[in-house]
Structures are given as structure tokens and as C-alpha cells.
């Protein structure tokens, strides 16, 4: 019922909508030229490509945000109202994080593209002699990703211990990509573990024995998987089969020991430890 969607031709969008055309009169060819000259055409093309890559749920809000960031970076480039160094760095950090969040990591190309954008954006801040991201900024980025994903602090510090670089070290792009990806996967892992706990816990308390049985099975599955052995994925999957898991839980319940409970926090951090054992330390 709504207006027929215009064909996706980048050339099309330079033409104003018919309503406006009626109000302004016939569109002179000069307008297209004008839009090209002042950079509207290129700007919109890039914006559209970013939207298509990220596929946000609400593209309009996404575009508002996108142009706001763009306006900020323009102001920075032209030197108008340059904020002091700390503020400048904060802005760069914000923008890098924003890039990293644009696309879910499962959308490989988009995510990798955004990681490199974030990396580039952070590199500008360093003295021209040594381009690259240093360890301090790198840790800050990882910390921000985890905090905004509401990962518990103790898990965060365990992760950072594994993938930390020294403050003065230059961080190569590969390390940067590996670590940011690890953070995002960890966040998702934690949220999955959280919903797992939600299932285990009835009436506000989860039985410790059952929790441990589940964690044990999960651990076995994780340990069995090996990046370089494709069949190990199948093996891991089969270890987590519903009947396999149920068997383990059943066994745990049958062993009649005095029952105690396990808090969500404990459960999450134990699950996270399982995950972290698979994280390869850098260096």
C-alpha cells in the first residue's frame, strides 16, 4: 500500500522525489552536478553501503548516528573546534567501538571490514613515526567491549590476562582482530550460559550437583573440539546431545549427597573459565 519502493540505483537517488520536483520545477541537470561537487553523492553512497553491510533493525536511527559521527570526524579534519588531546582520543575510541558494533561477527566480511576501520581510526592518534595501535588503547578497547556487554569484571580480568599486550607495545592488526573477535564471542557465550542457568534454576536456586554435571559435560565438549580437526565439531555436538546431557544430570541427581545451590555468578564464571581455556594466549 505504501509508495512503490524505488529501484536501487545509486543514480536514481540524485533525482528529487516527484513532489519536490513539482514544487521546485523541473530538475535541472545542474542539480546532479551540484550534488556531486559538494560531495553529497559520495557521502550517501557510502552511507547506503554501510547500512547494507550492517543491516540494522532500525536503519533510520542508524543513519542518524552514522551522520553524527561523520559530522564529528569532519569537524576534526578541518580543524574546527579541535578538542584537547584526551577528548580527541575519547572520540576516536568511541568511533572505533561504534565500528566494531556495526555488524555481528557472524557476518564475516562486514565484521572484518569494520574491525579494520576501527583499527585505522585508532591508529591516527599515534605519532606519525610509528603508525599502529599501542597496548594501552588496545586494552581500553577490549575493556570497553566487555563492559558494555555487561560481562562480569572477574571474567574480564581473566580474559585480559590472556590476551593483554604491554602498554608501550605496538599491537599488530591480526592480534587486534583476534582479540576483539574473542571478546564478542565471549560475550555471546556468557549470554548463552546465562540462559542455560535460567533453565537450570527453578524457584530461584539451582542445584549445585546438576549445575556441575552440566558444566562438566560442556567442558568435555569444549575440550574435545579442535580448530584443525573438523570431525571434532561433530564429536563436541554429540557430547551435548539432549539425551547425553540428561543422562549426566540424572546421574548427578541420583548421587544422594546433601544438596547445595549454585549462584548465577558462580555458574557464569565457571562456564567462562571453560571458554577461556580455549582462548589462545597471544605472544
Selected binder of other proteins within 29, 60, 199, 255 (CB under 8 A): 60
- Sign (positive or negative) of CA dihedral 30, 32, 37, 38: positive
165-169: long-range contacts (C-beta < 8 A, 24 or more apart)?
165/135, 165/138, 165/139, 165/282, 165/283, 166/135, 167/134, 167/135, 167/136, 167/139, 168/134, 168/135, 168/136, 169/134, 169/135
Q: Binding segment for other proteins among 8-16, 156-164, 172-180, 259-267 (CB under 8 A)?
A: 8-16
When the beta carbons of 9 and 130 are compared against other proteins, the nearer one is 9
Task: Give the footprint of other proteins on residues 32-51 (CB under 8 A).
Answer: 34-35, 38-40, 43-44, 47-48, 51
Contacts of 174 (CB under 8 A, 6+ apart): none
Q: Is 167 near other proteins (CB under 8 A)?
A: no
Q: Residue 248 and residue 216: Cα distance in Å, rounded?
A: 9
Q: Dihedral (C-alpha) 53, 9, 57, 108: value to the nearest 10 degrees?
A: -10
Compute how many residues bind other proteins; rule: CB under 8 A.
Answer: 45
Closest approach, Cβ 72 to other proteins, in A, equals: 8
The answer to whether the beta carbons of residues 236 and 120 sit under 8 Å apart is: no
Closest approach, Cβ 55 to other proteins, in A, equals: 5
Q: At what angle do helices 85-102 and 40-54 cross, to 10 degrees?
A: 50
Tell me the three cell numbers of residue 245.
546431557
Closest approach, Cβ 32 to other proteins, in A, equals: 10
SS3 content of the chain, % helix, strand, coil (to 5): 70, 5, 30
Closest approach, Cβ 37 to other proteins, in A, equals: 10
Q: Is 198 near other proteins (CB under 8 A)?
A: no
Between 73 and 92, how does the x/- string for binding to other proteins read (CB under 8 A)? Answer: -xx-----------------
Helix (H, G, I), strand (E, B) or coil at 149: coil
Q: Is 63 near other proteins (CB under 8 A)?
A: yes
When the beta carbons of 21 and 82 are compared against other proteins, the nearer one is 21
Selected binder of other proteins within 36, 55, 251, 265 (CB under 8 A): 55
Helix (H, G, I), strand (E, B) or coil at 198: helix
Q: Which of 250, 242, 243 is nearest to 209 (CA)?
A: 250
Selected binder of other proteins within 33, 36, 71, 153 (CB under 8 A): 71
When the beta carbons of 6 and 131 are compared against other proteins, the nearer one is 6
Closest approach, Cβ 110 to other proteins, in A, equals: 10
Q: Residue 159 and residue 25: Cα distance in Å, rounded?
A: 62
When the beta carbons of 60 and 255 are compared against other proteins, the nearer one is 60
What residues make contact with other proteins under the rule CB under 8 A?
1-3, 5-8, 12-17, 19-21, 23-24, 31, 34-35, 38-40, 43-44, 47-48, 51-52, 55, 57-61, 63-64, 67-68, 70-71, 74-75, 107
Amino acid at each position: 500500500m505504501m509508495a512503490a519502493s524505488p529501484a536501487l540505483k545509486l543514480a536514481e537517488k540524485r533525482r528529487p522525489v516527484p513532489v519536490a520536483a513539482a514544487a521546485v520545477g523541473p530538475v535541472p541537470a545542474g542539480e546532479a552536478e551540484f550534488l556531486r561537487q559538494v560531495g553529497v553523492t559520495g557521502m550517501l553512497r557510502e552511507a547506503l553501503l554501510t547500512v547494507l553491510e550492517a543491516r540494522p533493525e532500525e536503519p533510520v536511527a542508524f543513519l542518524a548516528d552514522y551522520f553524527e559521527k561523520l559530522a564529528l570526524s569532519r569537524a576534526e579534519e578541518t580543524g574546527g573546534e579541535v578538542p584537547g588531546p584526551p577528548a580527541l582520543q575519547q572520540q576516536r575510541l568511541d568511533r572505533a567501538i561504534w565500528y566494531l558494533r556495526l555488524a555481528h561477527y557472524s557476518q564475516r566480511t562486514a565484521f572484518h571490514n569494520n574491525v579494520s576501520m576501527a583499527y585505522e581510526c585508532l591508529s591516527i592518534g599515534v605519532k606519525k613515526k610509528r603508525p599502529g595501535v599501542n597496548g594501552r588503547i588496545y586494552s581500553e578497547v577490549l575493556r570497553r567491549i566487555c563492559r558494555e556487554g555487561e560481562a562480569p569484571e572477574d571474567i574480564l580480568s581473566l580474559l585480559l590476562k590472556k590476551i593483554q599486550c604491554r602498554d608501550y607495545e605496538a599491537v599488530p592488526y591480526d592480534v587486534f582482530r583476534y582479540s576483539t573477535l574473542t571478546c564478542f564471542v565471549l560475550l555471546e557465550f556468557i549470554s548463552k550460559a546465562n540462559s542455560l542457568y535460567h533453565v537450570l534454576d527453578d524457584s530461584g536456586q539451582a542445584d549445585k550437583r546438576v549445575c556441575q554435571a552440566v558444566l562438566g559435560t560442556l567442558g568435555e565438549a569444549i575440550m574435545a573440539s579442535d580448530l584443525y580437526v573438523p570431525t571434532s565439531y561433530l564429536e563436541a555436538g554429540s557430547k551435548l546431545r539432549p539425551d547425553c546431557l540428561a543422562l549426566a544430570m540424572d546421574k548427578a541427581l541420583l548421587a544422594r549427597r546433601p544438596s547445595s545451590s549454585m549462584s548465577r555468578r558462580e555458574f557464569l564464571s565457571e562456564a567462562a573459565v571453560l571458554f577461556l581455556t580455549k582462548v589462545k594466549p597471544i605472544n
